Structure 1
Amino acid sequence: SRSLQSKKRIAYLGPEGSYSHQAAYKSFRFDSILIPKPSIDSVINEVISGRVDLGIVPVENSTEGMINQTLDLMASSRLYVYREIMLPIVHHLLSKVDLSSITHLFSHPQAIAQCRDWINSNLPKAKVVEMASTSEAAMAAARHASGAAIASEYSAELYGLNILASKINDNPDNITRFWVISRHMAKTKGKAKTSIILTLENVPGALYRAIGTFARQEINLTKIESRPSKKNPWEYLFFIDIEGNLDEDDNVRMAMEDVKTCTKDIKILGSYPEGGMLT
């Protein structure tokens, strides 16, 4: 129908019930078709191929840091950041059996890390099994005779599990940042964040000179993260977030021109609105 044709197709890390699904649903449910994919790289491949308009991938957690797989895939693809989403993360222990009967605990590696103290105190003997997403973990727990999952309240509803323990995050202020990714660089108006990837020459002072270009233009760096380039040994990529809008701010444009003179390569992921917190 005409209404279906006008809706955006958006891929997210599934299955249904994952935190990526919650970010997608809360942000795009009224005007989009949401399509679950089994892994971060399959989300990115769907966007690259044009089978979907946008993808939603986790990029950073407030307690566990950057999602390296997302950074590496964005560095090697020709995709851009369309916007960011901030989602509070609340983990629960889900199962069909009682706590004393649990032998296997399923969850995503980030969720496991975010609940490490709780697991050690309450399920020290359970075998921990890493899954591609928290919702896939909930599905596994539903199938397992003595299994449990760390996942969302929504996953408990979807997969017929009981909530044995609520809010088991070691840090209650747990937020995951998601990138909405696109094949096209979007223009944005007003206050924005800009993300770039730098490759530097392996010489003394290279990072200092690159960062200095932003300081001279009085631009605030809100994030800097290094990753191996996977092209040459000991060559690193630097993922940098800055405050400013490449489309509107002259000092950001001037800094980008200056940084090109002291870097081996620069990839601009785009300027996009700073993400408001979803509830």
Structure 2
Amino acid sequence: MAKKKKSKRPGKTTSSGVKAPAQRQIDKLDQEILELINRRAELAIQRKRTTPTESADLRESLEHVVTLGHSDKGPLSADSVRSVFREILSGTQAASQVTRVAYLGPEFTYSHLAAIERFGQSAELVPVATIAAVFEEVERGHANFGLVPIENSTDGRVADALECLARSPIQICGEVPLRIRHCLLANCSRSSVVRVYSKRQPLSQCRNWLSQHLPDAQLIEVSSSAEAARKAAEESGSAAIASEQAGVNHEIAVLSHGIEDNSDNVTRFAVIGKESAKKTGNDKTAVVFEIDHQPGALADAMGIFKRQKLNMTWIESFPLPGQRGSYLFFVEFQGHASQLRARRALAALEKRALRLTLLGSYAQTEPIG
């Protein structure tokens, strides 16, 4: 039987070794793009020298570039444009000064993906074992920034992070609300899965799906979703709940995409550093305070925000260790701490509170992913 003749693809060389017209155009464009990227990097480095206090956060620049350059008529989606320019901006920053970022590891956890989203892969991303260790790296000056989870739309607050914020001098200087897309990873069929590994939070966020599709599987909690992927890669009959990227890294097949019970499953990560972020006009501020344990004390404190017309976006309470009946309150509200209404509210709250700590102001960010 005669073989079918392969059609010549655009951009490939001809049988004589001469490049096709489309490939010559692509090569020319690639050269022009490279020249422009290097020219942009030179200008950015020059600007950095003249304004050395400029933040290493690329979020604002990235959003500006994406809104300027993205067209709905082009083949690239906004997410693709974001990914390309994120790495261009990250690489430019690394060329002038490497940004070191500590995050809750290991690699290919959702914390790692959030760090990549915020700082790009040209930053020096350093995995550490605990949330407290992230704070320690920044406090000691071993990292310029840290990134820790503080809230999930399904499971609520991350207590370890809030407790560290309450006792640390480190400030929140940004947020990364990341849409969490859980995958079931395994190198066997779904019917062969007898155990499922993951961290406590992913197991909780997928409990209804697991109950429906893998009701007899043993659910085993491990230290991270990346560790779950590693175990699933090594053990027959094992699966993991983790990111698709973790599956690629450990060479495990994705059996099912998007198995989270809540389709709007978002984990919010705090970017921490030694200073708050500058005012952008669309900001939030976080504080933590302690008040007298008596009737009406909390209502009086909350009334301060109402009088100053400040919208609260989050409030949490957690008990003080070893002090029964005493609580710390974590409050986040819209506005920057430097604005008049926020200053008035904080001054009034300080008079009522036994203690008050400003945790930082930062730009409000829409969920990513």
Say whether the fold is shared (TM-score over 0.5). Answer: yes
Match of 1:251 in 2: 341
The range that moved more, 55-64 or 141-150, is: 141-150
Per-residue deviation, 1:246: 0.8
Q: Check whether the contact 2:277–2:363 (CA below 8 A) recurs between aligned residues.
A: no
Identity, % of aligned positions: 37
> Structure 1, residues 160-202: CA drift from partner, whole Å, max 9, x if none?
1111111111111111111001133343332210000011111
Residue 352 of structure 2 aligns to a residue whose secondary structure is coil
> Structure 1, residues 91-134: CA drift from partner, whole Å, max 9, x if none?
11001122222222111111111100011112222222222321
Q: Distance in 1 between matches of 2:213 and 2:135?
A: 37
The range that moved more, 73-82 or 235-244, is: 73-82
Q: Distance in 1 between matches of 2:319 and 2:222?
A: 25
Q: Distance in 1 between matches of 2:332 and 2:214?
A: 38
> Structure 1, residues 35-88: CA drift from partner, whole Å, max 9, x if none?
112222222222222211111111111122111121112212221101001111
Dislocated runs of 4+, deviation >4 Å: 2-5
Q: Check whether the contact 2:94–2:123 (CA below 8 A) recurs between aligned residues.
A: no
Distance 1:257 1:137, change over 3 A: same
Per-residue deviation, 1:5: 7.4
Unaligned runs of 5+ in 1: none
Determine which of 302, 305, 311 is the counterpart of 1:220. Answer: 311
Residue 261 of structure 1 aligns to a residue whose secondary structure is helix
Match of 2:227 in 1: 136
Per-residue deviation, 1:274: 0.5
Correspondence 1:145 to 2:224: no
* Correspondence list, 1:4-153, <5 A: 6-29=97-120, 32-153=123-244
Determine which of 274, 295, 308 is the counterpart of 1:204. Answer: 295
The range that moved more, 70-79 or 179-188, is: 179-188
Q: Distance in 2 between matches of 1:14 and 1:147?
A: 22
* Correspondence list, 1:158-237, <5 A: 158-237=249-328
Q: Distance in 2 between matches of 1:159 and 1:234?
A: 47
Correspondence 1:277 to 2:353: no
Q: Distance in 2 between matches of 1:29 and 1:186?
A: 19
Residue 252 of structure 1 aligns to a residue whose secondary structure is helix
Q: Check whether the contact 2:314–2:333 (CA below 8 A) recurs between aligned residues.
A: yes
Instruction: Identify the structure with the greater helix proportion.
Output: 2
Normalization by structure 1: what TM-score?
A: 0.94
Letter in 2 for 1:20: S
Q: Distance in 2 between matches of 1:189 and 1:31?
A: 25
Match of 2:353 in 1: 263
The range that moved more, 265-274 or 182-191, is: 182-191
- When the two chains are superposed, the root-mean-square deviation of aligned CA atoms in Å is 1.7
Q: Check whether the contact 1:39–1:132 (CA below 8 A) recurs between aligned residues.
A: no
Q: Distance in 2 between matches of 1:23 and 1:250?
A: 33
Q: Distance in 1 between matches of 2:363 and 2:122?
A: 19
Q: Distance in 1 between matches of 2:168 and 2:205?
A: 29
Q: Distance in 2 between matches of 1:29 and 1:115?
A: 29
Instruction: Identify the structure with the greater strand proportion.
Output: 1
Letter in 1 for 2:171: Y
Per-residue deviation, 1:140: 2.0
Letter in 2 for 1:116: R
Q: Check whether the contact 2:174–2:362 (CA below 8 A) recurs between aligned residues.
A: yes
Per-residue deviation, 1:18: 1.1
The number of residues matched between the two structures is 277
Letter in 1 for 2:301: A
Normalization by structure 2: what TM-score?
A: 0.72
Letter in 2 for 1:202: H
Q: Check whether the contact 1:196–1:267 (CA below 8 A) recurs between aligned residues.
A: yes
Letter in 2 for 1:251: R
The range that moved more, 18-27 or 32-41, is: 32-41
Q: Check whether the contact 2:101–2:125 (CA below 8 A) recurs between aligned residues.
A: yes
Unaligned runs of 5+ in 2: 1-92
More relative contact order in 1 or in 2 (CA 8 Å, sep 6+)? Answer: 1
The range that moved more, 269-278 or 95-104, is: 95-104
Residue 78 of structure 1 aligns to a residue whose secondary structure is coil
